[in-house]
Copies of this chain bind each other. A is one copy, B any other.
């Protein structure tokens, strides 16, 4: 059972694999907007059909929100679970897209061939690399070198409200030796990464309300409380002059880097200038005493993700608005407790409110950071497999984004996760014109085939 013939088959089948991916991408499975619930359902059905075509026993599992997809494929070797998510981010501002987000296109760019559209890199293109690796392995060898449970979620981009109860209700079915999660990126264009620490995330929406209706700023400006004004004071007070977050207790559980981590990360040759330069920036804007890489991988943040209030359209309207709102997220590291931070945040906001100002909080996702123990043999097998495929040493790294599911796999199922993915820094996750390099898709599929090859060697 050598991997070489599987890799050849993957190369030959690439056009068909891209066709399948495009069909998947055409389904506008935006989970955060209820208007796309049917599309999420269709994406789940599409995956069930794909898994059945591989010979898996697969089904769509209802939840109070978007459905889960679970499939089991028998094989010889360790029992592993593979996780990906079929839901995607919203597409606004739509006018910044150069092509329709749900009409995926193959495009030639100065940096190579890409597939363009919402969900290409996050996460449909990524999860399909594993499915395609299994397909080609089975066509060559008929039986997999592992017992694989596929687990696809449809609410990753909207805070995963159904995930915890689903994991609890189906713990025996989903608890395996290890989870493989494909929702992350390469360290850089040539260096594959296996991520062993991920930031957690706390999402919080704040709505401030003053007068019972919008007012004329001439008739009422002065004595009437202005929610946008109050909101700006609330938001401005969240950071101090060094870029640190002011909430009491916020840094409880934040760990300092070990010398070993610092040495490993220094060896990566990360260049803040080019990382920021690619998106038109030049200077790290976060905590003053930390490098850009530390700010992303090892430090918590507080960001404002959205704000609205009053009249913000064309022209000018002298309204004194009744309401203003902001969406705020905290990235968490180490053992920071999202629930304690939520409470500290809400107390802080309440303490900032003048008379005649009411607050409503909407709680979005809350997940701790994940720090993996890389003791299962698959970690080392995967490091070898990725090093062979990319012809560059694969590294254990941190990551700035949140993959809450990795934390829940650990806390609910007692299962560690191996996070490997093929995204690139310029993929435009969550942005207009999201893309996935065809190289990512192709070499990603080959990478998973090589991981299967290592499992077959034992």
- Decide yes or no whether A38 CB sits under 8 A from chain B: no
Residue among A223, A229, A312 with the most chain B CB within 10 A? A223
**Which residues of chain A from 184 to 219 have a CB within 8 Å of any chain B CB?**
199, 201, 203, 205, 210-219
Known A-B contacts A222-B286, A356-B283; A312 and B301 likewise in contact (beta carbons under 8 Å): no
- Decide yes or no whether A365 CB sits under 8 A from chain B: yes
- A281: chain B residues within 8 A (beta carbon): 210-211, 223-225, 356
Task: Sort A-B residue pairs by CB-CB distance and give the 7 closest, nearest first.
Answer: A218-B401, A32-B315, A212-B280, A222-B295, A306-B310, A236-B236, A232-B235
Mask: chain A, 383-405; 1 = CB below 8 Å from B; 0 = not = 00000000000000001111000
The distance from the CB of A294 to the nearest CB of chain B, in whole angstroms, is: 8
- Decide yes or no whether A370 CB sits under 8 A from chain B: no
Identify the A interface with B (CB < 8 A).
31-34, 89-90, 92, 96, 157-159, 199, 201, 203, 205, 210-226, 228-229, 231-233, 235-237, 239, 272, 275-276, 279-287, 290, 292, 295-296, 299, 301, 303-321, 324-327, 329, 331, 354-356, 364-365, 399-402, 425, 428-433
Are the C-beta atoms of B308 and A308 separated by less than 8 Å? yes
Are the C-beta atoms of A308 and B312 separated by less than 8 Å? yes
- 11 pairs, A vs B, C-beta closer than 8 Å: A31-B315, A33-B313, A158-B315, A205-B316, A222-B292, A222-B296, A222-B301, A222-B400, A229-B235, A306-B317, A318-B329
- A89: chain B residues within 8 A (beta carbon): 317
- A314: chain B residues within 8 A (beta carbon): 32-34
Compute how far the CA of A201 lies from the CA of B31 in the bound complex, rounded to whole angstroms. 44
For A294, the closest partner residue in chain B by CB is B222
- A159: chain B residues within 8 A (beta carbon): 315-316
Compute how far the CA of A309 lies from the CA of B228 in the bound complex, rounded to whole angstroms. 13
The distance from the CB of A314 to the nearest CB of chain B, in whole angstroms, is: 6
For A205, the closest partner residue in chain B by CB is B316
- A233: chain B residues within 8 A (beta carbon): 236
- A215: chain B residues within 8 A (beta carbon): 279, 430-431
Are the C-beta atoms of A285 and B213 separated by less than 8 Å? no
Known A-B contacts A222-B287, A239-B229; A310 and B331 likewise in contact (beta carbons under 8 Å): no
Compute how far the CA of A220 lies from the CA of B285 in the bound complex, rounded to whole angstroms. 10
Are the C-beta atoms of B214 and A430 separated by less than 8 Å? yes
For A425, the closest partner residue in chain B by CB is B219
Are the C-beta atoms of B401 and A316 separated by less than 8 Å? no
For A426, the closest partner residue in chain B by CB is B213
Are the C-beta atoms of B315 and A217 separated by less than 8 Å? no
- A236: chain B residues within 8 A (beta carbon): 232-233, 235-237
Residue among A221, A312, A319 with the most chain B CB within 10 A? A221
The distance from the CB of A184 to the nearest CB of chain B, in whole angstroms, is: 10
Are the C-beta atoms of A223 and B272 separated by less than 8 Å? yes
Are the C-beta atoms of B310 and A307 separated by less than 8 Å? yes
